[in-house]
């Protein structure tokens, strides 16, 4: 890929098609924040270490700072805002509040998106599995236990609904 040229892209973000021209080296995170005004995706480190920029990219959770915007051409991306009416996301948000898993809130959007992606693929996890799945999302405020408790509660409620 020639990193000197601009690239025209068309991306579906939260159900809305966005067309733009981006620098070839521009990250998906930069695109989301600059071109689509998707401010629920946070920029914490721009190196893939913190997880605050986690989004759903073609059905998989990814750190948007590690994906080039050009790679998103013709793809579908969902952020926390776009998932606000998703029943699983609503349960996770309520559980985060109930368990005090939201403190400063900076990590919360990425943490919620990552938790939702994990629970979709792991309907009956244990606490160690939850902790491992969220290990790529850093939080400086909660000590993680409240976050793990919140996700485990939702997983347990889902499991009891299946019985």
Q: Does one domain contain both 74 and 23?
A: yes
- pLDDT tens digits along 18-33: 999 999 999 999 999 9
CATH number at residue 130: 1.10.150.120
The DSSP secondary structure of 62-122, one letter per residue, reads: EEGGGSBGGGGTT-EEE-TGGGTT-HHHHHHHHHHHHTT--SS-SSHHHHHHHHHHHHHH-
In a domain, 1, yes or no: no
Q: What is the pTM of this model?
A: 0.92
- Is residue 74 assigned to a domain? yes
3-class SS of residue 53: coil
The answer on pLDDT for 129 being more than 80 is: yes
Note down the domain range covering 22.
6-82
Domain count, the chain: 2
- Co-location of 12 and 48 in the same domain: yes
- Claim to verify: residue 71 and residue 103 sit in the same structural domain: no
């Amino acid at each position: 890929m020639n990193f000197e040229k601009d690239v025209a892209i068309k991306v579906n973000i939260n159900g809305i098609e966005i067309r733009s021209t981006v620098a070839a080296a521009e990250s998906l995170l930069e695109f989301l924040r600059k071109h689509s005004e998707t401010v629920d995706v946070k920029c914490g480190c721009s190196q893939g270490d913190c997880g605050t920029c986690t989004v759903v990219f073609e059905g998989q959770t990814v750190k948007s700072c590690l994906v080039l915007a050009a790679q998103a051409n013709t793809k579908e991306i969902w952020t926390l805002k776009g998932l606000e009416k998703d029943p699983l996301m609503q349960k996770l948000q309520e559980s985060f509040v109930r368990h005090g898993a939201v403190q400063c809130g900076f990590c919360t959007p990425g943490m919620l998106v990552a938790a939702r992606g994990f629970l979709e693929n792991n309907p009956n996890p244990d606490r160690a599995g939850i902790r491992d799945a969220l290990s790529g999302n850093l939080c400086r405020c909660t000590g993680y236990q409240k976050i793990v408790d919140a996700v485990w509660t939702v997983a347990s409620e889902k499991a009891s609904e299946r019985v």
